[in-house]
Amino acid sequence: MQQTDERRGSVRAGEFERVSRGLWVEEPARSYRMPDPVRTAAVRAVIITAVTLIQAMIAFLSTLAGSWLAFPMVLSSVASTVVATWGVLDVWVTRQVWNQRYGVVSVPSSTARQLRRERRRARRAARKAAREGVRIPPAGAAALSEEQAAAGLKTA
C-alpha cells in the first residue's frame, strides 16, 4: 500500500507536518483606497441605483399583473432614474474635485507637481538666505540697485 501511494505521488501521513504553508496569504493591494468623500458618494450612488432597479422591477411586474400600483411605480421609477444619474455624476465630480484640491495627479509632468517643486525651491532659497543673512530680492528684480551695489551686498 505504501509503495502504491508513493507511485501516485501522494504524501505520506507523517510528511504533512513538514509542509509549512500559511493558511492566509497576504497580497498587496492593487489600487489605493478611495478618499472618504468619494467613497461616501459611491456608496450613496450604489444604494440609489439599487432602489431604482427594485422600483423598475416592481413597476414591470405590477404592469404585467394589471395592478393599480403600476402607474405610481412607473412614475417613481422615472424620478429615481434621474436621481440615480445625479448620484453617479456626483461620484465623478467629487472624485475630480478631490483630485484637483489635494493635488493627487498621476502624470509626472503635471502642473501640481511643478508648483510643489517651485514652492519647495523657494522655501529652500529662503532658508539658505536666512542662514547667510542675505535678503532675497523681490521677483523681477534682476540687477542690484545702486545702493546695494555700493554697499557690496550679494543676492542668493
Name the stretches of the chain with pLDDT < 50. Answer: 156
Q: What is the pLDDT of residue 156?
A: 47
Nearest one of 42, 39, 35 to 102, comparing CA atoms: 35
Q: What is the pLDDT of residue 147?
A: 55
Q: What is the pLDDT of residue 64?
A: 95
Q: Tens digit of pLDDT for each residue in 62-76? A: 999 999 999 999 999
Q: What is the pLDDT of residue 150?
A: 56
CB 102 within 8 A of CB 109: no
